[in-house]
Amino acid sequence: MFYNSFVRYLTFLRGDDLEKHRPISFEIKTLYHTIGRKIDSNMREKGIDSVTANHGRILGFLSRNSNRDIYQRDIEKEFDISRSTVTNILQLIEKKGYIKRVSTDKDMRLKKLVLTEEGVCTHSQILSCLQLTDEQLIEGIPQEKLNTFYEVCGLIRNNCKNTYERNKTND
């Protein structure tokens, strides 16, 4: 419904037939939201509906970096999110028992972030859920079409990056 009204609106603005020339940005955004709903559905089926996307990304980051000390500032830098937002997210996932904050010998004010057993288990379930979602998304799609899809995604990413860089230098 929204798509049809969006297409009519853009058709009106551009004066052409957008059914033949659908905006790629709209298709990507729609696909992003559709995949997000699919992931949420798969997560609920596995009983892990209390984890948001940001929680999952942070658990994944902590898991991938379990061989080194990670602090709040590392999360802020990695995900480019504000200190207050990270504070709120960490408080929530700590309250859920997925992480704990541990004082360091160097500075008692500095707390490193460590996954708990529950956090490790939840991260494992999330990975399983994401793998299932990927399998469902590519079901029935021939490999050569997937290769084309990945190639086109790379080209779009490069176009976005190049345009962003050009705009940045023009400012």
pLDDT digits (tens, 9 = 90+) for 13-32: 665 555 567 899 999 999 99
Signed CA dihedral, 89, 91, 95, 101: sign only: positive
DSSP state of 70: -
Contact predicate 38/131, CB 8 Å: no
Helix residue ranges per DSSP H, the chain: 2-14, 24-45, 53-64, 72-79, 83-95, 117-138, 143-170
Range with lowest mean pLDDT among 46-55, 132-141, 143-152, 161-170: 161-170
Give percent of the chain above pLDDT 70. 87
Average pLDDT on 34-55 reads 87
pLDDT for res 148: 98
| Bridge partners of residue 111, in order along the sequence | 103
Count of residues in the chain = 171
pLDDT in tens, 99-136: 999 988 877 788 999 999 999 999 999 999 999 999 99
What are the distances in angstroms from CA 15 to CA 8, 9, 11, 83?
10, 10, 5, 46
- One-letter identity of residue 121: C
Long-range contacts of 111-117, Cβ-Cβ distance < 8 Å, separation of 24 or more: 111/71, 111/72, 112/69, 112/70, 112/71, 113/62, 113/70, 113/71, 113/72, 113/75, 114/62, 115/59, 115/62, 115/63, 115/66
pLDDT in tens, 61-90: 999 999 999 999 999 999 999 999 999 999
CA distance 103 to 113: 9
* End-to-end Cα, the chain, rounded Å: 38
Structure tokens, 138: 């590519």
